Amino acid sequence: MKVLVIHGPNLNLLGIREADIYGTDSLSDIDKKILSLSTELGMDTKTIQLNSEGEIIDAIHKGDYDLLIINPAAYTHTSIAIRDAIAAVGKPSIEVHLSNIHRREEFRKKSFIAEVAVGQISGFGPDSYLLALRATKSILSK
């Protein structure tokens, strides 16, 4: 089971930016948790952080994974191109957010990604990624 986790723009600043919204864990802290659980679940997981929409699309297009976990960050609400890339590769994906986007500003409530994802997990901080990994195991085991 090969899993690709894409962290979108500005997530490289986790632990520094808006800790009241995103928590105090750094991206490195979160990646360690992801990789630890991935090993426990018997999955081969790669994590990457990309700030550029084009780089995110290129990573999706490579398709060297069985399932994509993506936190598109601000691109959630703006990128039809990322949505189309996910749809084009035809592999299952799970959309993840640290904060509950439905309890935030109005513009954050619309996700272009949700309609092409198997599901969306938001509001559980770093555990959102871990819940997505557990869902991944279930999805890929069927």
Catalytic residues: 22, 97
26: Cα within 13 Å, side-chain hemisphere: 3
Angle at 132 (CA atoms; ends 97, 39), nearest 5 degrees: 125
Residues 6+ apart with CB under 8 A from 32: none
Confidence of residue 101 (pLDDT cuts 50, 70, 90): confident
pLDDT score recorded for residue 106: 78
Check pLDDT > 90 for residue 118.
yes
Containing 36, the helix (H) or strand (E) segment is helix 27-40
pLDDT score recorded for residue 96: 98
Most confident of 1-10, 15-24, 103-112: 1-10
The percent of residues above 70 in pLDDT, for the chain, comes to 97
Q: Are 72 and 79 in contact (CB under 8 A)?
A: yes
Q: Strand 93-97 to strand 2-7: parallel, antiparallel, or no bridges (unpaired)? A: unpaired
- pTM of the predicted model as reported, rounded to 2 decimal places: 0.94
DSSP symbols for 41-52:
TT-EEEEEE---
- Mean residue pLDDT of the chain comes to 94
The percent of residues above 90 in pLDDT, for the chain, comes to 82
Which of 132, 60, 68 minimizes the C-alpha distance to 96? 132
Check pLDDT > 90 for residue 20.
no
The residue-averaged pLDDT of 89-110 equals 86
Q: Which residues pair with 3 in a beta bridge?
A: 45, 67
pLDDT score recorded for residue 44: 98
The amino acid sitting at 21 is: I
Q: Of 20 and 67, which is predicted with more confidence? A: 67
Task: Tell me the domains of the chain and their CATH numbers.
Answer: 16-127 (3.40.50.9100)
Most confident of 4-18, 25-39, 91-105: 25-39
Q: In what order do the strands lie in the sheet with 67-71?
A: 44-49, 2-7, 67-71, 93-97, 119-122
